[in-house]
Each structure stands twice: as C-alpha cells, then as structure tokens.
C-alpha cells in the first residue's frame, strides 16, 4: 500500500512541476517580448545571420538598431546592400552606416568610405571618402592601408608617395601584411607595385 501512496505523491509532484515549468516558460517568453536589451537583440540577429537567415537577422538587428546599438546599425547597413531575402536598398544602407559611424563604429566608417569611393547609392565623392576613411584610420590598419593606396595612386587626391608611405607604415605597425609588402615594394626598385591597387 505504501508504494501506491508514493506513486500518487510522485505523480502529483510531477504535475505540479510541469505546471511550474510551464508558468516559468510563459514568464520568460513574456519577459523577452517586453524587455529585451539591444545587446540580446543583436545576438539573436547575429545567430540568425550565421545561419544565413538574413530576413530573421534583419528583424533582430532592426530592434537593436532602433534602440541605438551601433553594431546593429552597421549590420543593418550590410544587409541592405543586398543579401538573399533582403532587397537591396542603398539609401537605407547609407542611413544605418551613417548612424553607426557617428557613434564611432569603425566598420560603418569603412563602409561609408567605400560607398562614396565607388559611388554606390550616392554620387562619387572623394572628400567624403577621405573624411570617413581618415576617421576609421585612427585605429584601423585596413583603413590605413586603403589611405596609403589612395595616396599611392592619386585617387581623388594628388599622388603623394610620402603620404602613402606614412599610412603604409602605420598599417604595418599594426601587423597589416599587405602594408609590409607595399613598403618593401617602394623601397626596392626591382618590384612591381601594380598589385597594390
């Protein structure tokens, strides 16, 4: 008779546990729907992006971007440049890049500089290219290398090998491999520098 009592008590406990678990789940779901943070929204977007679910990523990034998260704003800009399921909208890409760049997001500054350099969604504008690229070059080796190339080739600026070398050296000091090759190219008369472009 003791085991029947134990079985009934166990089943009653399991039913209560299941009810408690369901309640906890509902609280969690309701809590997430009401009070997500921009960082948690961004992480959900990043997870969707890594699974190549760009539409879902767009939704999560949008939530985080609307809350002012610069990384999400940058990633929205990337999505609006055209990925499967996300129609290309260069004006939206530019908008989100600009918001992120104004908050100091280096990737967004680099994206903006490329849009202006290539005339992608905006008229080609080397002054804007240089503005955003110089801001990114304060700390980014790839931006420093690009500035070196711009001065090396005279793209929108007068060609200036000394200025190019300055930027190549800054990039090389941060470990940018192509910058080291560019420096070697300029210091050796036997090398061809055409690959730098």
Q: Quick: pLDDT tens for 30-83.
A: 444 444 899 999 999 999 999 999 999 999 999 999 999 999 999 999 999 988
Give CB contacts under 8 A, 24+ apart, made by 150-154: 152/182, 152/193, 152/196, 153/196, 153/197
pLDDT score, position 83: 86
Sorting pLDDT into bands at 50, 70 and 90, what band is 195?
low
Residue 82 forms part of a structural domain: yes
Would you say residue 96 lies in a domain? yes
With H, G, I as helix, E, B as strand and everything else as coil, classify residue 47.
Answer: helix
Which CATH number is 100's domain given? Answer: 1.25.40.10
Number of other residues whose CB lies within 10 A of the CB of residue 10? 11
Residue 131 has pLDDT above 60, yes or no: yes
Q: Minimum mean pLDDT among 28-42, 128-142, 177-191: which range?
A: 28-42
Structure tokens at 76: 């929205």
80 lies in the same domain as 164: no
Instruction: Tell whether 102 and 158 lie within a shared domain.
Output: no
The residue among 121, 136, 151 that closes a domain is 136
Query: Same domain, yes or no, for 92 and 170?
Result: no
pLDDT score of 9: 61
Domain range enclosing 108: 36-136
Of 109, 136, 163, the residue at which a domain comes to its end is 136
Write down the mean pLDDT value for the chain. Answer: 85
What is the predicted pLDDT for the residue at 196?
A: 53
How much is the pLDDT for 88?
95
- Evaluated on CA atoms 152, 157, 162, 166, the torsion sign reads negative
Region for 81 from its dihedrals, namely left if φ exceeds 0, alpha if ψ lies in -120 to 50, beta otherwise: alpha
**Cα angle: 128, vertex 130, 133; to 5 degrees:** 105
DSSP assignment letter at 153: H
**Average pLDDT of the segment spanning 8-12:** 61
Does the residue 20 lie in any domain? no
Q: How many domains, in total, are found in the chain?
A: 2
Counting every residue written for the chain, the total comes to 197
In percent, the amount of the chain with pLDDT more than 90 equals 69
Task: Please check whether residues 72 and 119 belong to one and the same domain.
Answer: yes
Domain final position from 111, 136, 161: 136
Q: What is the pTM of this model?
A: 0.75
For range 78-106, the mean pLDDT: 95
Residues 101 and 123 occupy one common structural domain: yes
Question: Both 194 and 132 in a single domain?
Answer: no
């Amino acid at each position: 008779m003791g085991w029947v009592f134990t079985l009934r008590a166990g089943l009653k406990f399991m039913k209560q546990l299941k009810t408690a678990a369901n309640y906890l789940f509902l609280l969690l779901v309701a809590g997430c729907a009401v009070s997500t943070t921009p960082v948690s929204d961004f992480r959900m977007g990043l997870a969707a992006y890594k699974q190549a679910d760009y539409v879902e990523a767009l939704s999560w990034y949008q939530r985080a971007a609307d809350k002012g998260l610069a990384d999400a704003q940058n990633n929205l800009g990337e999505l609006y440049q055209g990925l499967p399921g996300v129609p290309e909208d260069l004006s939206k890409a530019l908008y989100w890049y600009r918001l992120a760049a104004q908050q100091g997001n280096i990737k967004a500054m680099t994206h903006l500089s490329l849009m202006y350099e290539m005339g992608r969604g905006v008229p080609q504008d080397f002054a804007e290219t240089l503005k955003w690229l110089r801001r990114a070059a304060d700390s980014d080796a790839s931006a420093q290398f690009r500035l070196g190339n711009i001065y090396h080739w005279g793209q929108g600026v007068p060609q200036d090998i000394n200025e190019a070398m300055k930027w190549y050296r800054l990039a090389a000091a941060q470990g940018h491999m192509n910058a080291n090759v560019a420096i070697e190219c300029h210091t050796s008369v036997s090398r061809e520098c055409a690959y730098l472009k």
